[in-house]
Chain A
Amino acid sequence: MITTDTGGETPHSTVGAHEESGSPDHTVQLLSPTGDRLDDAVYSARAAHLDRAALEDLYRDMALTRRFDNEATSLQRQGELGLWPPSLGQEAAQVGSARALRPQDFVFPSYREHGVAWVRGLDMRRLLVLYRGRDHGGWDAYQHNYNVPTLVIGAHTLHATGYGMGIQRDGDIGTGDPDRDRAVVAYFGDGATSQGDVSEAMVFASAASVPVVFFCQNNQWAISVPTAKQSRIPLVHRGEGFGIPSVRVDGNDVIACYAVMDEALERAHNGGGPTFIEAVTYRMGAHTTSDDPTRYRSRAEEEHWRQRDPIARLRIHLEKSGTAPEFFDRVEAEADRLGEDTRAFCRALDKPDPESMFDHVYATSNSQIERERAWFRDYEASFDQEAQR
């Protein structure tokens, strides 16, 4: 059955379709919106080892991500950031999928993957530096195997495929050594699937059986354009069309997101090639702080998805399974500290040295750059810095 059941003015749940697990029309779900664990013939086993402690860890990841994200949104509203793309509502898709990664796996994110950054071990506050306009990323991508964001929609999916081609050439697939086999993940959104680059990335990956996972967070909205205007079929079929094993998952179900990613990574690590994952979720906030969702979507739709909040879902489950209230208090206190740290960190970020704009343009000395740098240095030095204050 093919349905165009994503987004639009009349929202309805895209999860819980009735196809059998393993079919792309099936939406994998292991935790219901009411907080009950569900059985799935294919995927339950992959999450079976996630005990309460592990789920509490996932909860903490998501709660801290959200708190950080909210703080950043506020900081933008207070003039401390130029822009912020909120991840609100997508925590399960990001945290669940990222927790399945091995340290040696590499991630090419888009610009909204704050939860993935957190799980990879990047100090999330580092993300603020970019949005405060101090740099364009600038961290060591190899330290956490987490690249700086790509803002041109979908362009990095090709980079991920290329990285995977490198892994193939290094022989780091199918060795059976869990510390050696590697994969690469491209995170992107529903809108990106319309870009030619994304199709080309899947063409290359499929043709050469590249160990790459295309993790598409379908958050229903490409700014103001609903997914239905990007595709008349569920996005999961895009992967199928390229001959790539594809799976659709409830993106607000952190357990299911873990499980499908675990499967995709296992395939990649074992030399089985690419996987396309459509994680059906919802961008609860604006596209960015420059956006105004009230112009194009209804309160009712937002409320519908608020009922499917990924963090609330896991909290209900944990409460049902006996997690003590003190755990949530501890997480909230930790989140508060993170919020304060984030605020203080952001405000302490000074303007960079303007001359730094000439750094890193080329690896070798370049006469054009050096002439301009020398001119700029003299020019800046010609001003009375004291009089500017």
Chain B
Amino acid sequence: MVDFGGWELPQQYTSIRNEHLAVRKVAGLFDISHMGRLVVEGPGAEASLQWLMTNDLAPLAPGHAMYTLMCKEDGGAIDDLVVYRESKDRFLVVVNAANRAKDTAWMQEHLAGSATIEDHTKDMSLIAFQGPRAHELLPKGSSKTDDIPYFGFRAGKVAGESALISRTGYTGEDGFELFVDSGGVGEVWDAILAAGKAQGVLPAGLGARDATRLEAALRLYGNDMDETVNPYEAGLGWTVKLGKPDFIGRDALAKVKAEGARRSLVGMRTEPGSIPRHGAAVSHDGHHVGTVTSGTHSFFLGHPIALAMVEGPSFRVGERVTIEVRGREAPADVVKLPFYRGSARSAVAPAKP
């Protein structure tokens, strides 16, 4: 068990390798109840979230979710999060565990009109069933999910229990995040594992979650970015909609965009055995150029992978740098992101004309 933002989470249930491969090849089940769940509601809810978030939530229809950043006035990222629109005036906001108190206070401070914010982290649990076969391995008593698009969600049933079924995730694979009443989540958890056991479904811990999210190049707040990093530096400029109505951090971010980011997050791979760790120095031609923000061994790809924050936008795919590993300089190649593109987007084919 490891402490993760004040929650006790298993690094692995059995083996990180097996859990990781299960997620990539079949499906794995994660307990992600440590993530904060906040409900923002009321006539001013949309305006409040538009003011708080960098992404444009106006086009978001009920039953759809959107990834966004929340920034300070200077453009530094307070958190990255997903906003789910349940109805015109009701939104579910899922935030990082370690940031829940900070985010709640910040959002509370900037709510407009009669909008309210309520914390449902404890009474509503969150589990994620992720993998290329997740959609066909939901247990009996589950709603049909064929027509839920990527980043869509709907109220339904899983193993007979009421659940909000969301086609989202943090692994790069197709699959679901399931919001279930905390009273019934244990039964849902057990039912999913029992139904998928013969096919190779495994419960998956934090180790597999970190490896799969890193292969998919999904950022981890606290490692890959923090309040000193702006969305452009984190490679998340696509979540900043400068053309939408004014929002916190807009002026600073417009300036960053006009001048160009001073740093950038890039992907790297190293030789087997040289695992870059968070905080390791990155050098190029003998000069210090940056720092590893996340690194692990990818059991799926067969070599270590890393994200690093480097100075300037100057590194191109194929360039050779070195990373400090166990006190020595290990060669590393700059590679394209993501390291691996899973089944996520391809899961729901667009309707044929």
A binds B: no
**Chain B residues proximal to chain A, CB less than 8 Å:** none
